[in-house]
Amino acid sequence: MSASLPSGILLPEAVLYSDWFAVWATFVAINTLMYAALSVAKMLPKIYPSDWIRRRNRRTETRGIYPDAETVRSE
């Protein structure tokens, strides 16, 4: 570290090199990564795995008030 930059401006230098401060800094880093990952996952479109799997309980024709409407799953 250069002599022009004073270390430990907010906290004494001994605190910055202590074990509990390293553990705390690691916790904050992991927490930040998890928050960023959850934020990115929240921005992505939602995935419905049931749309990928074909099941027998799917209707082949609409039962709505508009019978000519396009069905969700047409076979």
DSSP per residue over 14-68, as a string?
HHHTSHHHHHHHHHHHHHHHHHHHHHHHHHSPP--GGGTS--TTS-SS--SS-TT
Span 28-66, pLDDT tens digits = 999 999 999 999 999 999 888 877 887 777 777 777 787
Q: What is the pLDDT of residues 1-12, one digit of tens each?
A: 555 666 667 888
pTM of the model: 0.51
